[in-house]
Amino acid sequence: MACPTEGISSITQNHTSEVIRFLDWKHPGQYAIFSLIGEPTQFMFKSSKLGIVNHSFAFSKKGVPKINMIQGFCATVDMWLDRNPNNVAVVICDNGFERTGLMIVSFLLFRSSAAYATAKEAMQFFDARRMPPGLSAFGSAAQRRYIGYFSQRFSAEPKELKLSKVVIPTKPLGMTKLCLDIYTWQPGGDDGHAMQLVRVWTSHGRGFGRVRAGESYAAFLFPGHLRLSGDVRLVVSGQFYRGTPRLRVFQLDFNTGFVDHSPAVWDLACLDAVSPAVSLPADFHIQTLFFNAAFLECDVLRDAQRAARFYCWDCDSSWMSEEGSLQVHSVVRAIGAGGEIEAVGSGPPHRYHPLIHDDCALCLQRRTALNQSRNVWIDVDNDVMEEVRRRD
């Protein structure tokens, strides 16, 4: 539910006294409050002052909790409900559906995992019960991702990753300089549940991020490798012109325990808090390269119904099969008005991970295959090739 309030904000939200009166009437002595609100406010609902059982599992709006916090929330709620069949758990955040939805869906998967085939099915159940028709409580990509993390929590491998490079396309942003800040979540507060962001690296003052004419990507390098473990947030900001204020462009949240491949490609659907000041194309993506992660196909490119697919930034049809990815670009042919062949050729090799070839084992493997297939001309017969050679 939405957080009860006092003062002027009670004009649009339930007043604290009304909520308490309702709970005392319907569930006297049998309810506990579970607050997810992490931001300070003068109208914060303080149930402890009213003698109500209260638990705080606070995290920021549009943010995500640590996996062990979700586990702790589920275990605490489960214990409370098992204590008495009439007990009720009241879960509150500022609007009553984003953070609340994340935690309640996680609890459904925790307590009744057999009832839901997938995390998506549990989210659809919550939407059907909580939201108006056609609307979803899960607008945050990170929150959807963390529900998926929690549903697979026993398959996660707690580990430290060594970040060696982050690559960001620059042309869609139209900025002259980009800045990257990297944060990790660490416990804060007396109860040990509240989390706070701690910045562990920034590109500010390091000479990274300046966008030069003709460059399509900005690469942020970590020569000694940045060690990351657990929950991580990447925040990208930038300047349109020198001397102007930095604008926050987007952020990305992930957990290192679920990154089993490198490079990891994060598409537009993975990003949160995207600034309305930029218009990002549907194929916008960023890449993170981890020195000690296996070089496998990316989750965002994986399809359970077919073979792995790969992405190329030069092709009109960007998605291709693994077999197709080993070939050169499709042959380009232009036929003149008289039926003559004006040009035959192929484009450059497919590019999977621009700017990171030197330390990407997958790219090296693909490059070897491309070199072996460079003389293979697809869909062009020998007579056509002989005509082209003669004209050259």
* Higher pLDDT among residues 97 and 159, named by residue: 97
Examine residue 323 and state whether it is found in any structural domain, yes or no.
yes
Q: How far apart are CA 261 and CA 199, in angstroms?
A: 24
Statement to judge: residues 39 and 145 lie in one domain: yes
Statement to judge: residues 287 and 273 lie in one domain: yes
Q: How far apart are CA 386 and CA 392, in angstroms?
A: 10
Statement to judge: residues 266 and 313 lie in one domain: no
Could you give the number of structural domains in the chain?
A: 3
Examine residue 1 and state whether it is found in any structural domain, yes or no.
no
103 burial type by CB count under 10 A (0-12 exposed, 13-18 middle, 19+ buried): buried
- The tokens of 234 are what? 């990447």
- pLDDT at res. 150: 86
Statement to judge: residues 291 and 380 lie in one domain: no
pLDDT in tens, 68-89: 889 889 999 999 999 999 999 9
- Mean pLDDT along residues 175-193: 78
Contact criterion met (CB below 8 Å) for 58 and 44: no
Statement to judge: residues 236 and 143 lie in one domain: no
Contact criterion met (CB below 8 Å) for 103 and 36: yes
Contact criterion met (CB below 8 Å) for 231 and 250: no
> Which of residues 134, 154, 174 is at a domain's end?
154
Q: How far apart are CA 103 and CA 123, in angstroms?
A: 11
Q: What is the largest CA-CA distance in the chain?
A: 93
Statement to judge: residues 100 and 198 lie in one domain: no
Contact criterion met (CB below 8 Å) for 251 and 166: no
Statement to judge: residues 34 and 81 lie in one domain: yes
The pairing of beta strand 332-335 with beta strand 319-321: unpaired
What percentage of residues in the chain have a pLDDT greater than 90?
Answer: 21
- Residue 243 maps to which CATH number? 2.60.40.1110
- pLDDT at res. 310: 45
Residue 51 has pLDDT above 80, yes or no: no
Q: In what order do the strands lie in the sheet with 177-187?
A: 195-202, 177-187, 231-239, 247-255
- pLDDT at res. 140: 87
- Residue 85 maps to which CATH number? 3.90.190.10
Residue 342 has pLDDT above 70, yes or no: no
Q: How far apart are CA 82 and CA 108, in angstroms?
A: 14
Statement to judge: residues 193 and 62 lie in one domain: no
Examine residue 83 and state whether it is found in any structural domain, yes or no.
yes
Q: How far apart are CA 127 and CA 111, in angstroms?
A: 18
Q: What is the DSSP letter of 210?
A: B
Residue 376 has pLDDT above 90, yes or no: no
Please name the residue that has the structure tokens 């604290």: 16
Q: Give exposure, 236-270, as e/b (b: 16+ Cβ within 10 Å).
A: bbbbeeeeeeebebbbbbbbbbbbbbbbbbbbbeb
Residue 323 has pLDDT above 60, yes or no: no
Q: How far apart are CA 291 and CA 32, in angstroms?
A: 46
* Higher pLDDT among residues 12 and 94, named by residue: 94
Residue 378 has pLDDT above 70, yes or no: no
- Mean pLDDT along residues 207-233: 85
Residue 387 has pLDDT above 60, yes or no: no
Question: Chain-centre distance of CA 165, in angstroms?
Answer: 17
pTM for this entry = 0.67
Residue 351 has pLDDT above 90, yes or no: no
* Higher pLDDT among residues 375 and 271, named by residue: 271
Q: How far apart are CA 359 and CA 262, in angstroms?
A: 10
Statement to judge: residues 343 and 241 lie in one domain: no
- Mean pLDDT along residues 348-369: 41
Q: Which residue range is the domain that position 18 belongs to?
A: 7-154
* Higher pLDDT among residues 185 and 53, named by residue: 185
- The tokens of 122 are what? 């549990």
Give the pLDDT band (50/70/90) at residue 7: low
What percentage of residues in the chain have a pLDDT greater than 70?
Answer: 65
> Which of residues 120, 154, 188 is at a domain's end?
154
Statement to judge: residues 307 and 282 lie in one domain: no
Statement to judge: residues 225 and 309 lie in one domain: no
Statement to judge: residues 85 and 183 lie in one domain: no
Q: Strand (E) positions, 73-142?
A: 88-92
Examine residue 45 and state whether it is found in any structural domain, yes or no.
yes
* Higher pLDDT among residues 299 and 287, named by residue: 287
Minimum mean pLDDT among 239-248, 353-362, 364-373: which range?
353-362
> Which of residues 282, 300, 318 is at a domain's end?
300
pLDDT in tens, 126-152: 999 999 998 999 888 888 888 888 887
Contact criterion met (CB below 8 Å) for 332 and 343: yes
